């Protein structure tokens, strides 16, 4: 029984709103008509919002004159008066307090609506000029594609209200066979597509050319969708690609960390070479060893090859003598083997350098580890 009662109330409410004199229990004088507050400078948007609110409750007839005041002795007079007072309360609630205070003496909702329009509705010509100027100067700049398109759409909607495509009242379009109305809408769509493409940033230059090269041209909504996809791809690419400044800082940081190892190797090699060149044999006169280390006195090792070897068209004697920067000859000896090995790269040192390079690569890739096969 309870469910049947609720269903009956819902059905009664749906049927009730078909009657312009109907007021539900939720309708009260503290409600605000529409979603905007009128501040004296937003008449066009406020009036559109207010009309939508009144139309949802089937009360537009109270402000456009289609539901005039009945005679005082008519049966529906009290119903009309009650609804008219309610509509006035809704309109006044959606005005700023100082504006509402100056309109309290209006005798009907239509008088109130006409008074607001007469005070604050501007002439179409200056308003159209201002809107078109702002539309022509609008560019994306730092806005997202979504914000830029929404701003464009706002200008287009306001211009439609002020100078939309005229409607045919004589019925001639019903007999038209050339689709003139469709062609007019296509012209308007091409103009909006040009407005959208002209204001885009330079980074969408290629996409702009691709859209203009399509045949037939896409709608402005389709073009917006395509450009938005490119914007999302660019955002994903920027997330995975480190900036040049970040890369430079990483290289500089890791160069500093590897610097001491490389400098140590250079200094160590230079020290060994200077010690070697500081020796001179009194027996053979060569630099690089002392007399007690001279092979000519103590004998050559068993694996020492004194014969010249051929390599290509060049002949040379291996390990017999070397020449320094000043042209003096010096000779390697078995006693220099330890020092010669010191001149070679230490495997431990190489491993440390590789580890530092690997660390730099991991950090530059956003912390993702890289897999390399084989020992270092």
pLDDT: is 334 or 255 the higher one? 255
Three-class DSSP category at 267: helix
d(CA 121, CA 317): 106
Mean pLDDT is lowest, of 70-74, 135-139, 264-268, for 264-268
DSSP string, 176-220: -SS-HHHHHHHHHHHHHHHHHHHTS-GGGHHHHHHHHT-SSPPPH
Which of 102-111, 229-238, 311-320: highest mean pLDDT?
A: 102-111
Most confident stretch, 130-134, 168-172, 270-274, 299-303: 130-134
The answer on pLDDT for 230 being more than 80 is yes
**In this model, does residue 333 exceed pLDDT 60?**
no
What whole-number percentage of the chain has pLDDT above 90? 31
Instruction: Tell me how far apart the alpha carbons of residues 249 and 243 are, in angstroms, rounded to a whole number.
Output: 10
In tens, the pLDDT along 17-68 reads: 788 888 888 888 888 888 889 988 788 888 888 999 999 889 999 999 899 9
For residue 226, give the 3-state DSSP assignment. Answer: helix
Residue 293: phi and psi, rounded to 5, are -105, 0
In the predicted model, what is the mean pLDDT of residues 306-316? 46
Residues 88, 108: contact at Cβ < 8 Å?
yes
Q: Cα(355)–Cα(348) distance, rounded to whole angstroms?
A: 11
pLDDT, mean over the chain:
76
- pLDDT of 336 reads 47
pLDDT at 227: 93
**Stronger pLDDT, 339 or 274, i.e. the higher one:** 274
Between the alpha carbon of residue 350 and those of residues 309, 342, 345, the distances in Å are: 32, 13, 7
Give percent of the chain with pLDDT exceeding 70: 67
Query: pLDDT-derived band of residue 246, with 50, 70 and 90 as boundaries?
Result: low
Question: Are the CB atoms for 361 and 373 separated by under 8 Å?
Answer: no
On whether the CB atoms of residues 59 and 1 are closer than 8 A, the answer is no
- pLDDT higher than 50, residue 311: no
Interval 343-372: pLDDT, tens = 455 566 677 777 777 777 766 555 544 444
Q: Which of 43-52, 198-207, 311-320 has the lowest mean pLDDT?
A: 311-320
Q: Specify the long-range contacts of residues 269-276, CB closer than 8 Å, at least 24 apart.
A: 269/342, 269/343, 272/339, 272/342, 272/343, 273/343, 275/339, 276/330, 276/336, 276/339
Model pLDDT for residues 141-190, shown as the tens digit of each residue:
889 999 999 999 999 988 887 777 777 767 777 788 888 888 888 999 99
How far is residue 227's CA from residue 212's CA, in Å, rounded to a whole number? Answer: 13
Judge whether 255 and 249 are in contact, CB under 8 Å.
Answer: no
Q: Out of 19-33, 143-157, 195-209, 275-289, which region has the weakest mean confidence (pLDDT)?
A: 275-289
């Amino acid at each position: 029984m309870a469910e049947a009662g609720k269903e009956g109330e819902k059905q009664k409410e749906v049927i009730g709103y078909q009657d312009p004199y109907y007021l539900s229990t939720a309708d009260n004088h503290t409600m605000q008509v529409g979603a905007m507050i009128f501040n004296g400078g937003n008449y066009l948007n406020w009036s559109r919002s207010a009309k939508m609110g009144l139309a949802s409750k089937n009360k537009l007839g109270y402000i456009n004159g289609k539901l005039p005041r009945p005679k005082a002795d008519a049966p529906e007079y009290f119903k009309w008066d009650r609804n008219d007072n309610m509509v006035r309360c809704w309109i006044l609630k959606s005005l700023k307090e100082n504006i509402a205070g100056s309109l309290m003496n209006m005798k009907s909702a239509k008088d109130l609506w006409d008074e607001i329009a007469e005070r604050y509705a501007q002439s179409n010509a200056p308003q159209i000029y201002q809107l078109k100027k702002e539309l022509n100067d609008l560019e994306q700049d730092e806005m997202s594609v979504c914000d830029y398109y929404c701003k464009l759409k706002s200008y287009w909607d306001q211009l439609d209200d002020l100078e939309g495509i005229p409607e045919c009242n004589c019925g001639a379009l019903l007999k038209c066979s050339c689709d003139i109305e469709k062609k007019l809408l296509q012209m308007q769509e091409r103009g909006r597509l040009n407005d959208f493409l002209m204001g885009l940033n330079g980074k969408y230059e290629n996409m702009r050319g691709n859209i203009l090269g399509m045949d037939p041209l896409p709608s402005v909504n389709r073009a917006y969708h395509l450009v938005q996809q490119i914007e999302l791809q660019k955002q994903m690419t920027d997330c995975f690609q480190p900036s040049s400044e970040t890369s430079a800082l990483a290289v500089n940081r890791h160069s500093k960390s590897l610097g001491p190892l490389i400098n140590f190797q250079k200094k160590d090699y230079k020290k060994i070479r200077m010690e070697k060149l500081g020796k001179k044999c009194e027996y053979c006169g060569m630099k690089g060893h002392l007399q007690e280390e001279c092979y000519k006195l103590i004998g050559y090792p068993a694996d020492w090859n004194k014969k010249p070897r051929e390599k290509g068209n060049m002949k040379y004697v291996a390990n017999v003598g070397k020449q320094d920067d000043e042209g003096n000859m010096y000779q390697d000896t078995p006693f220099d083997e330890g020092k010669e090995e010191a001149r070679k790269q230490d495997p431990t040192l190489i491993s440390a350098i590789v580890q530092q390079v690997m660390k730099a690569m991991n950090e530059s890739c956003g912390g993702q580890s890289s897999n390399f096969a084989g020992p270092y």
